[in-house]
Amino acid sequence: MTVTILVVEDEPAIQELIALNLKREGYMTLSALSADNAMQLINNVLPDLVLLDWMLPDTPGIEFARRLRREERTKAIPLIMLTARIDENDKIAGLEAGADDYITKPFSPRELIARIKAVLRRRLPEMSDEVLELGGLRLDPVSHRVHACNDGFSDLAEINLGPTEFRLLHFLMAYKERVHTREQLLDRIWGDHVFIEDRTVDVHIRRLRKILESVGKENLVQTVRGTGYRFSVTPN
């Protein structure tokens, strides 16, 4: 999945440098010079991660972080604070405001990318490029391929999935054993600004199961009556 990162930084040169390095790593970027500008962007497109400078011209970054954590729509967005403040109390304040990580300036592009990948692995495993091997399936997000495997995880057969079914399977495998409502799946797979019916999820779940049936893996995608769906290696 393509990751969208919002860079909130009031120094244009630094903002541009960060965005350039993110694009080189394959991330999509949005840029804002202020908290108000950032909120306008977030109201249109929900980013997958926010890089937030502490010192902004309108609202301090730490206050903006608290605002994001208070609001239902944005409270789960991974957040990394960027700041020249090196005092331990400032770091603690940033983390207590809801930041997932805290990077002090100056920092190298390699450090920034490593921190971003670590936060995404921890907070949004479906955004990671790590290969998932569960229940006799091997899913590779980089090559966009899924294989049925034997117990030793040597590939047996490739499974051809459409883009939506691939994203759906990737998400469910990344959060194995966790039950997701239709609304949650719509938000994460289709986006929170896409207005489609909940039953659309059911249609794609049926398609996914039909494809997995060809390799005897359809039971891995389970219905939890009255709640939603999960990926589980334990019989339902």
pLDDT, tens only, 69-105: 999 889 889 999 998 877 778 888 888 899 999 998 8
Tokens for 182, please give them: 């239709």
Give 152's pLDDT tier (boundaries 50, 70, 90): low
Domains and CATH numbers, the chain: 4-127 (3.40.50.2300), 132-231 (1.10.10.10)
3-state SS, one letter per residue, for 53-100: ECCCCCCCHHHHHHHHHHCCCCCCCCEEEEECCCCHHHHHHHHHCCCC
CA distances for 198 relative to 75, 181, 183, 207, 228, angstroms: 22, 9, 7, 15, 11
Q: Are 73 and 192 in contact (CB under 8 A)?
A: yes
Burial string for 109-140 (b: 16+ CB within 10 Å, else e) reads eeebeebbbebbeebbbbbbeeebebbbbbbe
The pLDDT of residue 12 is 94
The pLDDT of residue 165 is 94
Backbone phi, psi, residue 186, to 5°: -60, -45
pLDDT, tens only, 183-204: 888 888 887 655 667 788 999 9
Global pTM reads 0.69
Give 138's pLDDT tier (boundaries 50, 70, 90): very high
